[in-house]
Chain A
Amino acid sequence: MTAGKRSARVLAALLLGCAAWLLSTGALAQETPEDPLEAMDEDASLDDEDFEDLDEYAVPVVNDPFEGFNRAMFKFNNTAVKYALRPIANGYETVVPPLGRRGLSSFFTNLRFPVRFVGCLLQGKVDRGLKEVAKFVVNTTVGVGGFFDIAGQDPGLQVPSEDIGQAFGRWGIGHGPYLVLPFLGPSSARELAGSFGDAMLSPVNRRLARGLEWEWGLAYLTTNTLRELPDRLRTFEELQRMSVDPYIAMRNGYLQYRDNEVKR
């Protein structure tokens, strides 16, 4: 890839980030309590303690202007999980033994090092970034190319995983509109822009951009998707089981999860 193309990509990522910011109408999961005086006098038998816990959790204001489209996508994903992804995940878990799955998971996690490292630097978390470097060096060498998470045994090296979407969040950029993507599931304008940034930092994507060995790129994408699938499906299915409105449960769960990652 030429320097010009690369800077065009960086520019595109920044533009997407700005677009996410412009689209966002403030922070998404702001705690805005409902009218506090509403129905206050309807039941005088409640004591103060009871009143207090009724307000402990507020309903967050959510920016979901494409709810119709998102719900359709959610339904589509639900069908895809049932008839395609679940059987594929089961097949993967049958064919690849637990030790192999763990090895693959460590390998791909190690390869995401540039994403975590740049994510740290963009947020000024130099100490975490250095720990990421140490982990990457140890796992790539002693851990035989990343298949063994040797650094994982050192509690001092354990830091929360960073990425570009989290950096955008840390800079004060709100989520923007909530989005449900086909096959990929929940996202938002900010997170989508962030994942473009993540993808550009991936060594395999850079290789693909040079037009070399696309078969390797495809193998990488397929294996990475497969190894992530069982865990992602388990979360998805559990949410379906435990919720009374799976769409809202997923939306709220995703936004709480990402907001927590930004804070860490």
Chain B
Amino acid sequence: MRQLYRRITATVFWVAAALSTQAADAADDPMTFLRESVEEVMRIVYDEPDPGTRLSERLYPVLRDRFDLAGITRRAVGRPWLKFTPEQREKAVELFSTLVLRTYADRFEPKHRPKIDYGQPVQLNETRWELPTQVEYEGKTYAVAYRVQRGRDGWRVYDVIIEGVSMVGNYRAQFAAILQKGGAVALLDALAANIAKGGQSS
């Protein structure tokens, strides 16, 4: 009886170990992370029945989970980040996250489902990868690359590069001019102003 018990324990242990290794393998692979993230977004946009709420609001939880919003903000601000007070940092992440998530979520239109092909991942350094994809949308093909980093909580996206235009690089250029003129206060004001006008073009 005791032997049987031991055998069962051993089996359970090995199965659990095998499963966890498998899970760890998947978590270690940046492409798997990206595929899962993209599929989840696609499922919400195209497969789930529309509950009547705004699409962007339904996407926020998954995007918040998959994007490294603090890392994106830090990179877009650059060195001047060191001069921000903790409150300013928190506020900057909050405002900029709203802007980034809204921009990304607004790209999806439930009408046309894009076809996505995954390319060869490029390792940038120990923890960072660039993952190229081709998005076919309404008869046209766009190059969309995701930069991901493995941190304490697993993989997270920290930049989206569309047709060679890096989102973070683009904000970095905009922020630099504002920061030079008016520092953190001016940047927070500019971000708040954009969000207040609801992203309407001026």
Q: Is B201 in contact with A241, judged by CB distance below 8 angstroms?
A: yes
Considering the chains assembled together, what is the distance between the CA atoms of A119 and B78 in angstroms?
37
Q: Which residue of B lies closest to A86 (CB)?
A: B201
Q: Is B79 in contact with A244, judged by CB distance below 8 angstroms?
A: no
Considering the chains assembled together, what is the distance between the CA atoms of A242 and B106 in angstroms?
10
Q: Which residue of B lies closest to A243 (CB)?
A: B174
Q: Is B164 in contact with A252, judged by CB distance below 8 angstroms?
A: no
Q: A59, A240, A256: which contacts B202 (Cβ < 8 A)? A: A240
Q: Is B76 in contact with A261, judged by CB distance below 8 angstroms?
A: no
Given A244-B191, A256-B164, A260-B163, is A39 in contact with B170 using a C-beta cutoff of 8 Å? no
Let me know if B173 is at the binding interface, CB within 8 A: yes
Let me know if B172 is at the binding interface, CB within 8 A: yes
Q: Is B175 in contact with A56, judged by CB distance below 8 angstroms?
A: no
Q: Is A54 in contact with B170, judged by CB distance below 8 angstroms?
A: no
Q: Is B190 in contact with A245, judged by CB distance below 8 angstroms?
A: yes
Considering the chains assembled together, what is the distance between the CA atoms of A46 and B71 in angstroms?
13
Q: Is B169 in contact with A54, judged by CB distance below 8 angstroms?
A: no
Let me know if B133 is at the binding interface, CB within 8 A: no
Let me know if B119 is at the binding interface, CB within 8 A: no
Q: Is A54 in contact with B81, judged by CB distance below 8 angstroms?
A: yes
Q: In the complex, how many angstroms separate the beta carbon of B146 from the nearest chain A beta carbon? A: 15
Q: In the complex, how many angstroms separate the beta carbon of A195 from the nearest chain B beta carbon? A: 19
Let me know if A213 is at the binding interface, CB within 8 A: no
Q: In the complex, how many angstroms separate the beta carbon of A76 from the nearest chain B beta carbon? A: 14
Let me know if A38 is at the binding interface, CB within 8 A: yes
Given A34-B78, A53-B71, A54-B75, is A244 in contact with B163 using a C-beta cutoff of 8 Å? no
Q: Which residue of A lies closest to B170 (CB)?
A: A252
Given A43-B82, A55-B78, A57-B76, is A245 in contact with B168 using a C-beta cutoff of 8 Å? no
Q: Is B166 in contact with A57, judged by CB distance below 8 angstroms?
A: yes
Let me know if B99 is at the binding interface, CB within 8 A: yes
Instruction: Name the B residues within 8 Å of A39 (CB-CB).
Output: 79-80, 82-83
Q: Is A59 in contact with B164, judged by CB distance below 8 angstroms?
A: no
Let me know if A78 is at the binding interface, CB within 8 A: yes
Q: Which residue of A lies closest to B84 (CB)?
A: A43
Q: Is B164 in contact with A246, judged by CB distance below 8 angstroms?
A: no
Considering the chains assembled together, what is the distance between the CA atoms of A150 and B53 in angstroms?
41
Q: Is B199 in contact with A252, judged by CB distance below 8 angstroms?
A: no
Q: Is A257 in contact with B194, judged by CB distance below 8 angstroms?
A: no
Q: Is A256 in contact with B170, judged by CB distance below 8 angstroms?
A: yes
Instruction: Name the B residues within 8 Å of A243 (CB-CB).
Output: 170, 174, 194
Q: Is B201 in contact with A252, judged by CB distance below 8 angstroms?
A: no
Let me know if B3 is at the binding interface, CB within 8 A: no
Q: In the complex, how many angstroms separate the beta carbon of B65 from the nearest chain A beta carbon? A: 20
Contact with B along A24-58 (1 / 0, CB 8 A): 00000000001110111011001000100111111
Q: In the complex, how many angstroms separate the beta carbon of B38 from the nearest chain A beta carbon? A: 20
Question: Which A residues are closer than 8 A to B by beta carbons?
Answer: 34-36, 38-40, 42-43, 46, 50, 53-60, 62, 78, 98, 102, 158, 237-238, 240-246, 248-249, 251-253, 256-257, 259-261, 263-264
5 A-B residue pairs with CB within 8 Å = A54-B79, A54-B82, A57-B75, A241-B199, A245-B178
- 7 nearest A-B pairs in the assembled complex, by CB-CB distance: A260-B164, A240-B201, A252-B173, A242-B103, A59-B176, A244-B190, A241-B199
Question: Which B residues are closer than 8 A to A by beta carbons?
Answer: 71, 74-83, 99, 102-103, 106, 138-139, 141, 158, 163-166, 168-178, 187, 190-191, 193-194, 199-202
